[in-house]
Amino acid sequence: MNPLSILRDSLYFFRRNFLAIVRLCLPLVVIEALGKELLDRAIGPDGSPVYDIAFGLLFYPLYTAALILFLDVRSNGGQPRVRNLLAGAMRLWPMFALLTGSSTVLIILGLSMFVLPGVWIMVKLAFSEYLLVLRNLTPIEAIKQSFIMTHGQFWRILTCILAVLAPLWLLSGISDQLYPDPRNPVLGLMIDSVNSFLQLFTSIVLYRLFMLLGDAQADRARD
């Protein structure tokens, strides 16, 4: 479970299924980015970030749950239909939104305590979404099981997350320098949509790690 091999396998999957993932997730990502743009304009630059977080709970659970369902079906050789994946995501939305809200609060609380506790919590929650979607756990059960499943895997998970997010943060910083505010609304929408879409690669990487750890734990249990 070398992070490099996990990233390589995830990139291979992402490239092979790129168009399918675009069709499944990009429309919702664009709608979310457009809604946040309109919301930011309505509340102004001094508005509370709580509004953005609350708005994100409308869309993030939908396209992320749909992506996780897609990953599961495709990894088992299936050819899922977009409408079926979105229907499944809609059924999961209430519990997924509750999990997302709870996780966000925990991470923010951790970050408020000198950052490192927030990073630790983020890593410990890394598998909670997969446990909720694929194993039908409740949000509380998914959080508890994620804490158990990530035991001893902190640096491997953190390396995988940072390997994806660090380049995206760099690209975001460069785009902010090249196109500072106030920028063209259409250009801003494109940049935000592409950045949010590329962040979905994190879900693919963590799914790969989740499955490998799950298989390894199952093998140990049989032994």
User: Model confidence over 100-159: pLDDT tens digits?
Assistant: 999 999 998 888 887 788 999 999 999 999 999 999 999 999 999 999 999 999 999 999
Query: How far is the C-alpha of 171 from the C-alpha of 65, rounded, in Å?
Result: 26
pLDDT in tens, 36-83: 888 877 776 666 677 778 888 899 999 999 999 999 999 998 999 999
Q: Spell out the domain ranges in the chain.
A: 3-218
Task: Determine the pLDDT at residue 219.
Answer: 58
Say yes or no to pLDDT of 218 above 70: no
The continuous run of DSSP H or E covering 160 comes out as helix 154-178
Residue 144 exposed, middle or buried by CB count within 10 Å (0-12, 13-18, 19+): middle
pTM for the model: 0.92
Query: How far, in Å, CA of 117 to CA of 106, rounded?
Result: 10
The total of other beta-carbon atoms located within 10 Å of residue 168's CB is: 16
Distance CA 161, CA 127 (A): 12
Q: What's the pLDDT score for residue 40? A: 78
Q: What is the mean pLDDT of residues 11-26?
A: 96
What span, in angstroms and rounded, lies between the C-alpha atoms of 154 and 209?
Answer: 12
Q: Other C-beta atoms within 10 Å of 22: how many?
A: 12
Residue-level pLDDT at 220 = 63
One-letter amino acid at 153 equals Q
Question: pLDDT tens across 175-190, in order?
Answer: 878 777 667 778 888 8
In contact, 2 and 192? CB cutoff 8 Å: no
